[in-house]
Structure 1
């Protein structure tokens, strides 16, 4: 009987250990936003492939790891600063810090280690990469995050670190920041407005409750959608501009420009639908179309380059 009880206690203890390890791993993924970090790494690598004359797999690996640490650090700092705000919102109240599953000290250690490792790894590629990585973490943490509680202009500030990954890949490949890297930056910069304002529309009530300003002019109205449509049009123009060969070594075939234009028109279509309906369902479709756009367009650019 005693042996049976001991075995049972041992089994329960093993299950608890496995559960706690699973929770720890899940919390680590949440504090560093692994999904977002991976998507940023993907964008950086496409930027690298666009800029590289000869592919160096060591550089790609360093870019992937350094980029992952860079985004992970930004997200961890962001959640430390916003832990009390996160506790007020349904979508975020179960994150590791507001739910108190993780201490601020632990999160801070992760954030600092990721910052140091990320900048050091990017420096191993070239100093410019390290500089842009450091600027990205600084702006996201020290400007964008606190500004969200003060002004809708936070989205403009946040779009700067958000647009660095695509450009970072080109700088990793060439060691140069020229017109090509500038255009890659601008494509991702202008893309963020329809994307984040669509999210701001969907989460407007939650953000409002938490005191965050995530829509232009702080209003969920047609005026906000006019700005979404305007920035979508600018994004489309930036995305197809390389067909005019005004972007240095970064240029695309006319057929490629047509495909990208059609993808942009898909986003524009949902923007116009949102203007007419002002319904959350159309904001969600716009948000999904924007994710599709920023995933597919870099791939199209890379395919186009290897067809030259």
Structure 2
């Protein structure tokens, strides 16, 4: 009997450690970033190299996992103040900071080494992403709402990173992919900041534009949503190098963007969490579908 309980205890311990590891590296977010990178890669290549695809997925995952781990090390004390984050492994003491640091540093080194083996430019953008997220965005969060603009830069790198991994070149095409994901960050993140406003306040974060949760903030959300829709369809003009889309694709993208815009306008009218949640969910759907649509459009050329 004793042996069985020990086995069960080990299993339970392993599942707790595995769960903590997933929380530390934010597996869900990391996988969505990997998805963006792979979409960017598929947009750029003539012929798919599966070895590069796998390396990009692993390198991209490690890069984001490292950023998240560093972020949670820095914000261990503020995480303890918020309902959403208080059960993370570091604030609860289930994981030592030194363990998290080993994960973060090894993920950084291995992730960048893998990206470097694809090509040096991919590693460079990976390094920029980790540096900006952990050393600039994270400390700025408690100082100014402008931190969201800084955070949007590493947040916009993955889509572009896929193109750079495929071509070892940074030009107008990856620049365009960067812009699309850059503008998307604002309505998406401010919808989350709206929902988490009181929780963030407890931790000393104020991430709404101009620090206010009001109609002026929603005007900014609407403005950036419109910018996002415009930027998303610029490739239809065929002025963005080898990255272009069919007119019918542009119409579909405008229709998709209009859903986000609809919820942003509803948020302006009602200023309630319900609309903010709808906007946040529609933004996740938008960025996922737009990447799939771009890839489908490319393979129809």
Decide: shared fold, TM above 0.5: yes
Q: CA offset at residue 232 of structure 1?
A: 0.4
Task: Say whether residues 1:131 and 2:119 are aligned partners.
Answer: no
- Where does the alignment leave 5 or more consecutive residues of structure 2 unmatched? none
In 1, the alpha carbon distance for the partners of 2:216 and 2:131 equals 31
Alignment partner, residue 84 of structure 2? 91
Give the CA deviation at 1:10.
2.1
**2: CA distance between counterparts of 1:69 and 1:12?**
35
> Following the alignment from structure 1 to structure 2, what is the Cα–Cα distance between the partners of residues 145 and 293?
26
Which structure has the greater CA radius of gyration?
A: 1
Aligned residues: 301
Question: Which residue, out of 222, 229, 251, partners 1:229?
Answer: 222
The one-character-per-residue Cα deviations of 1:56-111 (angstroms, maximum 9, x if unpaired) are 11110110000000000000000000000000000100000000000000000000
Q: How does 1:1-308 map to 2 (within 5 A)?
A: 7=1, 9-308=2-301
**Cα distance in structure 2, aligned partners of 1:176 and 1:188:** 19
Deviation per CA, 1:118-138, whole angstroms, max 9, x where unpaired?
100000000000000000000
CA distance in structure 2 between the aligned counterparts of 1:232 and 1:198, rounded to whole angstroms: 12
Q: CA deviation at 1:17?
A: 1.0
Q: Distance in 1 between matches of 2:219 and 2:203?
A: 25
Taking the aligned partners of 1:190 and 1:175, their CA distance within structure 2 comes to: 24
TM-score if structure 2 supplies the norm length?
Answer: 0.99
TM-score (norm. length: structure 1): 0.97
CA shift, 1:222, in A, is 0.3
Q: CA deviation at 1:11?
A: 2.1
